[in-house]
Structure 1
């Protein structure tokens, strides 16, 4: 009985000393965390894993040193070994998460030019999930190897590993395909976190990218969940593949009698008076003239997709207001020609249109005129065809 009481006191004392030491270290890290974000994150994330691991280890060593043989000693020590392995795996995962959070904190994405930062964030997020899954699998394998019966079955399991792997691969073909697709997306830069994409006819932002699925935040705050293999097997639009600056259009149908130049002036005024315009492109062109109407397309540019949407709405509103207030004759109309045989009146003759000399102004061209237009035209110009020599 005295020997048992001594063993209990040793276990309790070692456990209490260990908890006191861990809490003291946690207090020191918390104090350091007031000046260091890394220390603060370490104190928050690794506190409980470190406490569980060290406490289990202290109890195990106290039982081994202070107690002799007693009923249930072997199973108890085996249980403590399993708890220590689990706690140690938890601690390693927590430390890796702290390091990944520190890396992400140095590469913030809330900056104007964040292309490289979003790529790095996507890769770190994927590696974090792979790391946690790997640690869990390794810890489970080590725990299983602590059982003598399972170690004895190791040889037979290895002998049948080929057949089992084939069956498992066939059974989990779609799941494994998504996992490899997630790794491919992380390191191929096809899509990144915070990229603006158009998928399934929906416009949204990549909110989360995992090994098995991608969450797209639609513009109206809905979430579209797609398997990662979707982005490796089907086409989709990525508006921020190489940069966030984009072009957009606002179309307007007007009558053939519309005077275009005042509308160009109004478009230029709308762009220059708005902070949404990035100063690159502001062009008004007539893109179609069929069905009794002409179609005007205002092409504008903005720094990112949300600003472009608001700018397109603003431009459309300004042009419609200008037409209604200053050129009501430009509103689309349906014409009917009355001949002399039917009513005795002379046919209607359209008013002559003003003549323009030379080419269209620079704000009436997309692929020519101005430095930006010339550069855009060079990008889309094909190879010159060789001249055909006639004999």
Structure 2
């Protein structure tokens, strides 16, 4: 009634399992040794190069290449051993796409880091900011594409998901409309990010004014841009905002700017000595780049006049400092040399009371 099991079958099964384990251990060990030796040779070669760009790429792909070597070793054993082939076939459909996606993502990030490393800081800073912006946007776009493709390959390996996909093909039209409507914001952000990289309305490091906030572009992502203000606040602006609405970019083509300060003075002011002092002081200031130094009377009212003092500097930061120093110096000079030019709106109660008492 009961079938008697032959103990020799157990012995054969344990022997086959032991052979499979030994084969796996030997194959994985050889793969790891080859991987380590190969990267030792590659790192030694990269040390003799003039740039660190290749070092960055080697470091980023080291770990995914190690796991890829292990996967290849297991696959080689699986081709000749049935005990390894069955479980590896079930696992490989998830592991292999994940490792390949990890490797592709590491290659993209390694190339991005290498390209940034190769940028020479002695070159035009405007060109450097533009290149850094393109590298950041294209690397993030490629990373998103790789992640999406990797997840899709992993999901295709799941039988249940594959059957659901076949069933959903019957209503492909409805599904396409639903997916298109749901993915519209993401696609819009993706296209906006690519358009930002190609047209370059802003770049990393640009000084912009958006929604009343002035600051430096710190980071450009596919869906939003980070702007750091002078008081260290971080303004998050949608990427489409820079493509669909008006904003100011103070450093689009150059950091050189011209900025004014305004002096509201009494109409009796003698402008000629003020102009002479302004030109003397600006010419001696190291922050001035020599492009613009002008003083004009832009307004004249019965109670006051307005003088516009325009100066220029090599960078936006230098211009801000120059304007502040110029404003302080001119007010101090006016107090010492033309005090009557400063407008006074003061109520001197004590003097008025004395005059009133004397008249009484």
Q: TM-score range by the shorter chain?
A: 0.7 to 0.9
Aligned pair 1:83/2:107, yes or no?
no
SS in 1 for 2:261: strand
| Structure-1 residue corresponding to 2:4 | none
Of 95, 112, 121, the match for 1:100: 112
SS in 2 for 1:160: helix
| Structure-2 residue corresponding to 1:200 | 211
SS in 1 for 2:294: strand
| Structure-2 residue corresponding to 1:15 | 28
Counterpart CA distance in 2 for 1:8 and 1:75 is 13
Using the TM superposition, give the Cα deviation of residue 316 of structure 1 relative to its aligned residue in structure 2, in angstroms: 0.7
| Structure-2 residue corresponding to 1:368 | none
Q: Alpha-carbon deviations, 1:127-158, whole Å to 9, x = none? A: 10111111111122222333445445555444
Q: Structure 1 residues 140-149 or 199-208, which shifts more?
A: 140-149
Tell me how many residue pairs correspond in the alignment.
333
Aligned pair 1:281/2:288, yes or no?
no
Superposition map of 1:312-327 within 5 A = 312-327=323-338
- TM-score, normalised via structure 1 length: 0.79
- TM-score, normalised via structure 2 length: 0.85
| Structure-2 residue corresponding to 1:257 | 268
Using the TM superposition, give the Cα deviation of residue 272 of structure 1 relative to its aligned residue in structure 2, in angstroms: 1.9
Structure 2: gaps spanning 5 or more residues? 1-13, 347-360
Counterpart CA distance in 1 for 2:171 and 2:305 is 74
SS in 2 for 1:190: coil
Counterpart CA distance in 2 for 1:245 and 1:97 is 33
* 8 A contact 2:54–2:114 mirrored in 1: no
SS in 2 for 1:301: strand
Query: How large is the Cα RMSD of the aligned pairs?
Result: 2.4
Counterpart CA distance in 2 for 1:277 and 1:159 is 72
Query: CA distance change for structure 1 residues 32 and 263 in 2, over 3 Å: closer, same or farther?
Result: farther
Query: CA distance change for structure 1 residues 196 and 161 in 2, over 3 Å: closer, same or farther?
Result: farther
Of 82, 88, 109, the match for 1:68: 82
SS in 1 for 2:255: coil
| Structure-1 residue corresponding to 2:173 | 162
* 8 A contact 2:267–2:302 mirrored in 1: no
| Structure-1 residue corresponding to 2:37 | 24
Counterpart CA distance in 1 for 2:69 and 2:278 is 70
Q: Alpha-carbon deviations, 1:201-225, whole Å to 9, x = none? A: 1111111011100000111221100
Aligned pair 1:40/2:55, yes or no?
yes
SS in 1 for 2:227: strand
Counterpart CA distance in 2 for 1:24 and 1:228 is 46
Superposition map of 1:1-391 within 5 A = 1-36=14-49, 37-65=52-80, 67-69=81-83, 74-108=86-120, 110-111=121-122, 113-290=124-301, 292-333=303-344
* 8 A contact 1:32–1:40 mirrored in 2: no
Using the TM superposition, give the Cα deviation of residue 26 of structure 1 relative to its aligned residue in structure 2, in angstroms: 2.5
Q: Choose between structure 1 and 2: higher helix proportion.
A: 2
